Structure 1
């Protein structure tokens, strides 16, 4: 992997990590599904008027609107109301081993024994995390795990989409997701307009950061890199995001750094490093020598 691409991945992971902090700031002022709706509206307004799609793209965009728009983002915002930013970010990273397994199954990407070991270690980190007092709600765990599955399904699907620009994809996916998320917010939430009327700069910042930095910039760069490298070589890097999120949550939100949270995060990083190194070796062994020059 080129150094500039490696640095780009670290930047993306950092953006995702702080997004957990931003979301936590936002859901303290806005109903979570309503905040998700505002996020998608911002993305759609900034992207859709300047991009075009073909009718053949509608099925995959509708699929992504559900898996990425509703399953991942809506449930991430909702799950954030049950725990702190760092813990939520760690749970959602189960999407990484989920995506690696889906890539191996559906895309026939080779998953080595060492990579499998890294996945197992990362899963062990999740079990360690369950001992944290910040993870007291079973409902929150289920919501965040479903969000993780939505991320995994989206990541694997995007790998097969070769004729749609990532920014265009994000904008139109957001537009299509608006009715579903809006209806869900209308049915299950209340006081959306009063909350919007009394929103502070923190709520505004949270919506704009999640929409512009996280969605338009970070995710567009992420899916562009997925088109350059095998999914199982890129995906493990995302496991570093919860560690950054734990640190950022402690710095910006005053979140606790208890033994279970820190141990779980470090175990996940250990598994990520093993999987990353194994993925690199597997990829290199399958390429002709000229491909690495």
Structure 2
């Protein structure tokens, strides 16, 4: 990997990590579901005019609007409103091992003993995290785990769906998620418009950063890098996201640290790394650089 691309990768994972800080800032002024709604409005306005979909893609995008738009993003915003940025980022990272388990059960994809061991380590991290005071109630943990499941289910849908360009998918699922999240916010929250009109720079920054920087800019750069490098080479860098989110939460937001959070986070991140990184193929590529790595399809 060239030095320029290395710094691009670090910039992308840093953008994703800081997104959790931006969300926490936004939630100081806005209800979580309404903030999610506004995020989807901005993403749709930015991307829809430049993208087109086919009739065959429509039902798959509608499904993603619920699993990725509502289950993942809405519940992530609600969950983070009750915990700190780092804990939320770590728990949502479980979407990766959960996706692997679902693919094993539903799609009959094979898992090695090493991958199963990594998944078990990740899940043990959740058990440790339950002892952290940063998770005040069991239902907060349930919300964030459901958010991770939404991300995992979305991966399975993308695998079965007809090909859809990444930014096209982002724009249209955001557009279709607007009524789902909007109605939910209207039924469960109050004074949304008043909150938006009186929001400080933090509220607007949370919306715009989550929509433009985290979704449009970061994912555009990430998929451009995927065209040049194999998934197995980029995946270790993506695992830095929850690590950086924890550090940024402490430095920027003043989040607390405790042994449950430290040990639980390490178990989740290390277990996920063991589950997803193909060490054998990386070693082969290191010994024989001209040997092409098998490219996996990205969700």
What TM-score range do you get, normalising by the shorter chain? 0.7 to 0.9
* Equivalent residue pairs, number: 291
The answer on whether the counterparts of 1:100 and 1:231 sit within 8 Å (CA) in structure 2 is no
Residue matched to 2:26 = 26
1:228 is displaced (CA, Å) by 8.5
Counterparts in 2 of 1:152 and 1:93: CA distance versus 1, 3 Å: same
1:206 aligned onto 2:203: no
In the alignment, what sits opposite 1:181?
A: 181
- Whether the 8 Å CA contact 2:40–2:175 is kept in 1: the answer is yes
Q: Is the 8 A contact 1:71 1:146 kept in 2?
A: yes
Q: How does 1:60-139 map to 2 (within 5 A)?
A: 60-139=60-139
> C-alpha separation between the residues in 2 aligned to 1:119 and 1:5?
30
1:24 Cα shift? 0.9
TM-score by length of 2: 0.86
Deviations 1:202-255 (A, max 9, x none): 111111110011112334555677788887886676443222111110011000
Which residues of structure 1 form unaligned runs of 5+?
A: none
**Equivalent residue number for residue 247 of structure 1:** 247
C-alpha spacing 1:119/1:6, structure 2 compared with 1 (3 Å)? farther
SS in 1 for 2:57: helix
Q: Is the 8 A contact 2:121 2:271 kept in 1?
A: yes
Partner of 1:291: 292
**In the alignment, which residue of structure 1 is the partner of 2:287?**
none
Provide closer, same or farther for how the CA distance between residues 71 and 221 of structure 1 changes in structure 2, counting only shifts above 3 A: farther
Instruction: Describe the superposition over 1:162-204 as per-residue Cα deviations: whole angstroms up to 9, x where unpaired.
Output: 6321111101111011011110011110010110111111111
1:274, CA displacement in angstroms?
2.5
Higher helix proportion (structure 1 or 2)? 1
Corresponding residue for 2:45? 45
Give the corresponding residue for 1:152. Answer: 152
Does the C-alpha gap of structure 1 residues 158 and 58 become closer, same or farther in structure 2, counting only changes over 3 Å? same
User: Which deviates more, 22-31 or 11-20?
Assistant: 11-20
1:281 matched to which residue of 2?
Answer: 280
Q: CA RMSD in A?
A: 3.0
Residues 79/226 of structure 1: CA separation in 2 closer, same or farther (3 Å cut): farther
Query: Secondary structure of the equivalent of 2:81?
Result: helix
Structure 2's unaligned 5+ residue stretches are 285-289, 295-299
Aligned residues of 1:47 and 1:167 also touching (Cα < 8 A)? yes
